[in-house]
């Protein structure tokens, strides 16, 4: 052993210049890498849920405009921002992790070759949601999005671990108990699905602690989001992106002006509240119901129950319309 150590010392001492050159080269390479921070291309999808003439649609358009303007103003075009889509029009399958299709079902794998999964270049890597609430439930054009997100969080938590997100919310302060409920719950569901929150949720008229603002506006929030997206969008920093906490918009000095609660509604109550809005006929591959037999069973039971509930709600609505027509006809007959 002593002989080996001595030989090792002799060999090392013969090439001090080579060792020094190697050390200098390594340091120079590391320095060059730090200076060259190559920006990755980020695809931002913007989804909104709104009512007629609702601010959430206009807010989504403003957020898209700010992101395009600020982040693409540099020499490196590293950001693509999609046109805002309502939740019913948005393709949930586009959120599937294309680098992890081995864990997806055979049906999903075949879809990956010919369907939405084939469009890897345009696959969202960041999701921005702008939405309001109606009695604490999603607007009609966000029901499908919320349904699939809720089911994915139950049957396949962590399925969006490759994604980052940020949420902007609108609300009517007259409805105290359910104020900002949908923005808060959608933000929570995305987290349950594994997505990383890169910027604190913004709520119109609420405090925003990260910017020391007492009453936040979409202009304030969008400017801050653009700075965050531009700042973390590098190869070195991408792995170090920290997940912002769900309640980061508040602090001890600036709590919510109303309340800081969230009602975690189930799909049955959501369907009743939205009067049986149309839902897709099957689970999005995003939910990966085949990941385990138990998850598949849960997914099938949920769909069957939701389908029956939807038919029941439509039957009740048809019955109410029929009784209304009968009363209207009777009244017209009496007036004659």
Domains annotated for the chain, with CATH where assigned, are 42-266 (3.40.50.360)
Query: How far is 17 from 201, CA to CA, in rounded Å?
Result: 56
pLDDT, tens digit, for every residue of 39-75? Answer: 567 889 999 998 766 688 899 999 999 998 876 655 4
Contact 231, 182 (CB under 8 A): no
- Tell me: the pLDDT tens digits for 295-314? 556 656 666 666 677 677 77
Condensed to tens digits (0 to 9), the pLDDT of residues 289-298 reads 555 445 556 6
Going by pLDDT thresholds of 50, 70 and 90, the confidence category of residue 135 is confident
Give the E-state strand segments of the chain in sequence order: 42-49, 79-81, 85-86, 126-131, 164-169, 196-197, 202-203
Per-residue pLDDT tens over the stretch 66-94? 998 876 655 456 788 889 999 888 988 88
* Inter-axis angle of helices 293-335 and 143-155, nearest 10: 150
pLDDT at 316 over 90: no
Average pLDDT, the chain: 75
Beta bridge partner(s), residue 48: 86, 130
> Which distant-in-sequence residues (6+ apart) come within 8 Å of 94 by Cβ?
45, 116, 119, 122, 123, 124
Q: What is the dihedral of CA 234, 104, 44, 78, to 10 degrees?
A: 30
How far is Cα 251 from Cα 212, in angstroms, rounded to an integer?
10
- CA distances for 1 relative to 5, 6, 8, 13, 119, angstroms: 6, 9, 11, 19, 60
Record the tokens describing residue 233, joined without a space.
């969008």
pTM exceeds 0.85 for this model: no
> 227-247, pLDDT tens digit by residue?
888 876 554 444 556 789 999
């Amino acid at each position: 052993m002593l002989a080996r150590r001595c030989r090792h010392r002799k060999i090392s001492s013969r090439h001090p210049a080579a060792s020094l050159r190697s050390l200098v080269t390594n340091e120079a390479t590391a320095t060059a890498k730090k200076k060259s921070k190559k920006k990755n291309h980020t695809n931002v999808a913007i989804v909104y849920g709104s009512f007629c003439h609702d601010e959430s649609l206009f807010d989504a358009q403003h957020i898209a405009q700010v992101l395009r303007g600020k982040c693409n103003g540099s020499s490196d075009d590293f950001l693509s921002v999609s046109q805002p889509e309502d939740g019913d029009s948005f393709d949930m399958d586009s959120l599937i992790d294309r680098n992890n299709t081995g864990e997806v079902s055979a049906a999903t794998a075949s879809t990956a070759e010919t369907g939405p999964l084939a469009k890897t270049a345009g696959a969202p890597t960041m999701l921005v949601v702008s939405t309001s609430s109606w009695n604490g439930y999603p607007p009609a054009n966000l029901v499908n999005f919320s349904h699939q997100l809720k089911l994915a969080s139950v049957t396949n938590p962590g399925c969006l671990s490759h994604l980052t997100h940020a949420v902007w919310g609108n609300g009517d302060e007259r409805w105290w108990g359910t104020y900002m409920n949908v923005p808060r719950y959608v933000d929570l569901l995305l987290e349950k699905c594994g997505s990383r929150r890169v910027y604190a949720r913004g709520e119109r008229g609420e405090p925003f602690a990260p910017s020391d603002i007492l009453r936040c506006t979409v202009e304030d929030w969008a400017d801050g989001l653009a700075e965050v997206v531009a700042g973390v969008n590098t190869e070195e920093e991408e792995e170090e992106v920290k997940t912002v906490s769900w309640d980061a918009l508040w602090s001890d000095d600036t709590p919510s002006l109303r309340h800081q609660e969230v009602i975690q509604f189930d799909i049955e109550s959501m369907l009743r509240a939205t009067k049986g809005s149309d839902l897709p006929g099957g689970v999005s591959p995003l939910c990966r119901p085949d990941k385990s037999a138990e998850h598949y069973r849960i997914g099938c039971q949920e769909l069957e129950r939701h389908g029956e509930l939807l038919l029941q709600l439509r039957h009740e609505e048809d019955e109410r319309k029929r009784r209304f027509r009968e009363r209207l006809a009777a009244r017209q007959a009496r007036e004659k």
